[in-house]
Chain A
Amino acid sequence: MSATKHHEIHPGAEMLSAFAEQALSASERGDVLKHLAVCGRCREVVALAPATASAGVAPARHEVMRPRAWWRRWGLALAPAAAVAATAVIAVYVHERSLEKSAEVARLERRQAVEKTSALPQVPPQPPFQAAPPEAPRSTPEKTKKAERPERAGRPEMAEPPSSVAEPDETAAAPPPEVMNGLLPARGGPVVNPEFERRRKSDEALAPTGAAPGDKTPTEAGAHDEERKKHAEEEADNRRQFTAMAPISSNQDSPGSATPGSGSAGSTIPVDVSAQQLETQPAPPAGHLQLHGLRSTVDRTTGPYAFHLPDGQPAVSSASADHRMLAIDEKGTLFIREDSEGTWQKIKRQWTGRAVAVRRHASAVDTTGVVPAPETGENPATLGSLTQPETAFELVNDHGQVWISQDGRIWTAQ
């Protein structure tokens, strides 16, 4: 080897240390390497020197041989930057999660509030007629049951004849006793008095422009109208079934064809549904007036729907409008109540015969002896009549004669 000539001169300690610290230029490093390849002494020196670098040597400034990548120069800064970035990502993630959680909690709270509002039985003030007689003990469980299932509160059952509880075209008819005594609204809201609630609905149906504008929002009112339409359709179906089950054909449905005693409890009366336009008051006792209606099948004098007047007689017919409620007892005495306290006042007799029915008066109402039953709530003619703002009462005696009153106190023959 021609290496012997390199052994005559050794690189100095500075060159060797600079070689070990990578502080030489490329040409200088090559020269040192050439010498190291043939010089065992300098190889030992450079092997010993780095091994004893426990004191720590600052990195070499010369970076000619191994230019470090640009990102390596930022190595110390990348670690905290990465930590900050990771912290930011985690913070954003936690924030998003907290927002989602809070939104979900708020949604659940709203839902629970709605459910609680709709499910909580709000005890209404005791209406005067809610002091039910002892003979109507079934009202309480039914009320509880209906309160638990408010969505079904206004729906008539198949076992019962279709009622006009939720019919929008119910005009002169007073709310049925089952509504007044036990019904709760289909949606949440304070219902202090079922009777008043029923009356308010009736008023809204008659005068949707301003009966109780502040009670419901337009959305709720629209939903309520849809619900009532739905109920009306269901009731129409029920009536059809009921007619089909009737032993007498609908052709026999005439004022004179009613079988005596058809208005008694539990009996059924065949009704020509197509001929009925409005829901009527319950029929008087059998043999008095041939009022054919679906409600005639319900015994108003007994059962859970009955309420009694101050003279102790059960009401056989009632009607309400404009915070007034009229009721007739079995003797034909007319009573009026104008306040929510339930104070009934007896109306002096101004008609002939025995009053058997009282109802709201409307121009579209057929005031002949036969009280038409409502077909559906969607009848345009009926709806047109229902929208009349003026309210009045009609009183029918046992001869079918009709008296009209605006306030329920002064009656004039029609």
Chain B
Amino acid sequence: MASAESAAGVPETVSVAETALPEPRGTMDRRLLDELWRASAVPSWGLERDEFDRIIADAGIAQNFGLDAGVAATRRQQAEFFRGLRLDDLVLARACTAGIELAWEHFIAQHRQPLIRAAIAITGSETLGRDLADQLYAELYGLNMREGERRCPLLSYRGRGSLMGWLRTTLAQRHVDHHRRCRREQPLGEIDVPAAVPSPQTPGAELSQLERAIEQALEERDAEERFLLAAYYLDGQTLLQIARVLEVHEATVSRKLRRATEETRKQVLRNLRRDGLSRRAAEETLGADPRDLEVNLKQILQNSQSEAFKEQAAP
């Protein structure tokens, strides 16, 4: 993970002083820097060439040019990495962090209204949305001070995605964190009731076998299938929402979900038989109805999610 934020969901900010890096020209191709300098709109924000080179070096070295830690990037890999960056947004963010008024004017004209609209869409309320947007805007402007230094969240932006996407994600993070904090304060009647405890008719040994089999089956699924299962069965997201996140068609999501469900069920049966149960006994344990797997999966993920919230809630 290239960048990280605290478990409480607050974006990790980096001071301007911390961005001072060793001389970048010794580690980067000067022709590449010249090319990036010509391609960017830096002169309009009043940044000097040295400042631009430092910004570029900061973005590249901090992410190790998109490579794994410890791997030295060649000049070609550096060029590929920088060509994939949003240099304009990155330089604009850095110019705003440096307090250049021209850059701020451009930022306000370019992103102020979209930021408010995104906040309103996320919160579902204009009042809450404007409050959320204003709070973030105030932080971006550097009103927060820490240890005598102005802290700006824009310093965490390194140009991997668009600046507007970063702003929306930041708004979503803050809204989700706020919602989760407030949800714990809601009355008990509105809290999701955990799934019913398995019927006492089922032997405890078989239940433990089933839980282990399901855990193993879920762990054997790849990350995308687990994300699909969790987003659909646990979060209750629609196929359209999942499709937007993955930028695929809804039918693709549906097909992958069905395949993941079937494979998980088969794997659970195999795990049960591997533990010594016969096929009939394994099916009886799992339940004749395949929908029983859904219920069990939801229960398990819900419990694990609850554990995660407990960990996140801990200071």
Contacts and interface: CB of A to CB of B under 8 A. Distances in A.
Nearest to A21: B161
Nearest to A58: B162
B11 A37 contact: no
Contacts of B204: none
Contacts of A24: 160
Given A12-B4, A55-B164, A61-B83, A3 B245 contact: no
Contacts, number: 187
Interface stretch (A42-50, A141-149, A397-405): A42-50
A40 interface: yes
A45 B173 contact: yes
B235 interface: yes
Interface string A10-39: 111111111011111101101101101111
B45 interface: no
B122 A48 contact: yes
B1 interface: yes
A18 B160 contact: yes
Given A18-B161, A33-B223, A37-B230, A47 B235 contact: yes
B160 A23 contact: yes
Contacts of A34: 223, 226
Interface centre among B161, B177, B300, B307 (most CB of A within 10 A): B161
Contacts of A57: 162, 164-165
Interface string B152-190: 000011101110111011111101110010000000000
Contacts of B9: 10, 41
A1 B219 contact: yes
A348 interface: no
Interface string B1-31: 1111101010110000000000000000000
Interface size range of chain B in the complex: 35 or more
Contacts of A53: 118, 164-165, 168
A338 B166 CA distance: 116
Interface residues of A, number: 53
Interface of B: 1-5, 7, 9, 11-12, 66, 68, 83-86, 111, 114, 117-118, 121-122, 156-158, 160-162, 164-166, 168-173, 175-177, 180, 215, 218-219, 223-224, 226-227, 229-231, 234-235, 237, 241-242, 244-245, 247, 300-301, 304-305, 307-309, 311-312
Given A8-B311, A20-B245, A37-B223, A48 B7 contact: no
A62 B80 CA distance: 10
Nearest to B159: A14
A50 B164 CA distance: 11
A217 interface: no
Given A1-B218, A7-B312, A47-B235, A14 B157 contact: yes
Nearest to B89: A58
A51 interface: yes
A30 to B, nearest CB: 6
Contacts of B172: 44-46, 48-49, 52
A43 B231 contact: yes
A7 B4 contact: no
B7 A43 contact: no
Given A18-B160, A20-B245, 9 more contacts: A7-B308, A9-B5, A12-B4, A12-B156, A18-B161, A40-B230, A41-B180, A52-B118, A55-B164
B126 to A, nearest CB: 14
30 contacts: A3-B308, A4-B308, A12-B3, A13-B157, A13-B169, A14-B157, A14-B160, A16-B169, A17-B161, A17-B166, A20-B169, A25-B66, A36-B231, A39-B308, A40-B230, A40-B234, A43-B237, A47-B237, A47-B242, A48-B175, A49-B165, A49-B169, A49-B172, A52-B118, A52-B121, A52-B171, A53-B168, A55-B118, A61-B85, A62-B84
A66 B249 CA distance: 14
A205 B90 CA distance: 106
Contact of B227 (A1, A37, A60, A61): A37
A54 interface: yes
A219 interface: no
Nearest 4 Cβ contacts at the A-B interface: A55-B114, A37-B226, A17-B165, A18-B161
A52 B168 contact: yes
A139 B50 CA distance: 118
A57 B86 CA distance: 12
Contact of A1 (B2, B66, B215, B244): B215
A61 B165 CA distance: 13
B11 A13 contact: yes
A23 B161 contact: yes
A94 to B, nearest CB: 41
